[in-house]
Amino acid sequence: MPKGLRAMDGSALLVKGVGYVFITLFSAACLIPFVIIVSSSLTTESSILRHGFNLWPREFTWFAYQIVFENPRLIVGSYVVTFCLTAVGTAVGLFLIAMTGYALQRPDFVYRNHISFFIYFTTLFSGGLVPFYLLITRYLHLKDNYLAVLLPGLMTPFLVIMMKTFVRSIPHAITESAKIDGAGDFTIFLRLILPMSTPALATIGLFLAIGYWNEWYHSMLFLSSNVEYRPLQLFLYNVITSAEFIRNSAAASNVEPRNVPLESMKMATAVVATGPVILFYPLVQRYFIKGITVGAVKG
């Protein structure tokens, strides 16, 4: 692009200036709340009570983290539960979504439109929360069972459609020539299509994984009462909303209940529960970007 033309252009300077300022401010706004959380988790409780939350720790301490990890049974249990749910849910869900997506984009599969609509229709009409709740608790008897969180998250119409769109870019000729060589549909899917669709699998796998890691709704509905090791986000929710819950979970440590740093412990728990996602996502965000740009256009 001819540089000289740009330089003469006064409005270009204006647009650029506005661009840098606006984008910088917006990015700062996106970041600041996280800075507050981290800094508050490292601040003494008395400082928070006196001065409030801050962008930097006024009186630095590791105390909140010490209490969180002094008696790590509950939080480690939560980590294990969430990690297992994420791993199993993502693996199983990804396999099922890929298999369905492949079958539904096969041009020679005469039922593909019927089944696609069968799946898509669930986004148009739903029974709502109450019947779903009754189904899980009264008919499937999954209350206080981790399956109540694992199963409903395995597939979404959105991800099936996204998979379909991805796989469509693999030439149908590959399937056809493999058929001539005598391979069955499932073999073709497993041996040829799956290895060729690693970018799609990464994208959809990450959408599933982030969904399970951040899962809180179904956990709150079905695992709130009698489950000792709660999924991480439900654990965090309990810590945030109930001082009693914090005192109980800190009970085994040698801190007197009234000395438990309630506010900074909320923040420390939030950091521990969210840390992995924040460290991990910059490495994988390009897969999300791919998924968004593909998924935005309909399947």
Partner 1 sequence: MTSGETAVRPVSAAGSARGGKRMARLWRHRSLLLMCAPAIVFFLIFAYLPMPGLYLAFIQFNYADGIFRSPFVGWDNFRFLVMTGDLWKLTFNTVAYNLAFIVLGNLLQVLVAVLLNEIRRKWFKKVTQTIMFLPFFISPVLIGLLAYNILSYDYGLLNQWIQSFGGEPVQTYSNPYVWPYIIVFTFLWQMTGYGSIIYFAAIMGLDSEIVEAAEIDGANALQRIRYIILPWLKPTFIILLLFSLGGVLKGNFGLFYNLVGANNTALYSTTDIIETYVFRSLMVHFNFSMGSAVSLYQSVFGFAIVVTANWLVKKISPENSLF
Query: Is 118 a residue that touches partner 1 (CB under 8 A)?
Result: yes
The answer to whether residues 178 and 172 touch, using CB atoms and an 8 Å cutoff, is no
The interface with partner 1 within residues 68-87 (CB under 8 A) comprises none
Q: Is 56 in the site for partner 1 (CB under 8 A)?
A: no
Show contacts with partner 1 in window 214-273 (CB under 8 A). 214-217, 221, 233, 236-237, 240-241, 263, 266-267, 270, 273
Q: What is the rounded CA–CA span in Å between residue 218 and residue 200?
A: 27
Helix residue spans in the chain (DSSP H): 3-8, 10-41, 45-51, 63-70, 73-105, 112-124, 129-134, 147-150, 157-168, 172-180, 185-187, 194-196, 198-213, 217-222, 232-241, 243-249, 262-296
Residues that bind partner 1 (rule: CB under 8 A) add up to a total of 103
Backbone torsions φ then ψ of 43, nearest 5 degrees: -110, 145
* H or E segment to which residue 110 belongs: none
Closest CA to 122 of 164, 167, 88, 159: 159
What is the closest distance, in whole angstroms, from the C-beta atom of residue 209 to partner 1 in the complex?
A: 11
Q: Which is nearer to partner 1, 16 or 252 (CB)?
A: 16
Minimum CB distance to partner 1, residue 49 (Å)? 7
The binder of partner 1 chosen from 84, 96, 196, 255 (CB under 8 A):
96
Segment contacting partner 1 (CB under 8 A): 9-17, 67-75, 244-252, 253-261?
9-17
CA distance 241 to 99: 41
Helix (H, G, I), strand (E, B) or coil at 60: strand
Confirm or reject binding of residue 100 to partner 1 (CB under 8 A).
yes
Tokens of 81: 């539960």
The residue within the footprint of partner 1, chosen from 69, 132, 158, 245 (CB under 8 A), is: 132
Are 229 and 238 a contacting pair, CB within 8 Å?
no
What part of residues 186-215 is at the interface with partner 1 (CB under 8 A)?
186, 189, 210, 213-215
User: Least CB distance from residue 198 to partner 1, whole Å?
Assistant: 19
Determine the longest span between alpha carbons in the chain, in angstroms: 77
**Identity of the residue, 67 or 269, whose beta carbon is nearer to partner 1 in the bound complex:** 269
Piece of the chain touching partner 1 by CB under 8 A; list 72-80, 164-172, 245-253, 283-291? 283-291
| Interaction residues for partner 1, span 11-50 (CB under 8 A) | 11-12, 14-16, 18-20, 22-24, 26-27, 29-31, 33-34, 36-37, 40, 48-49
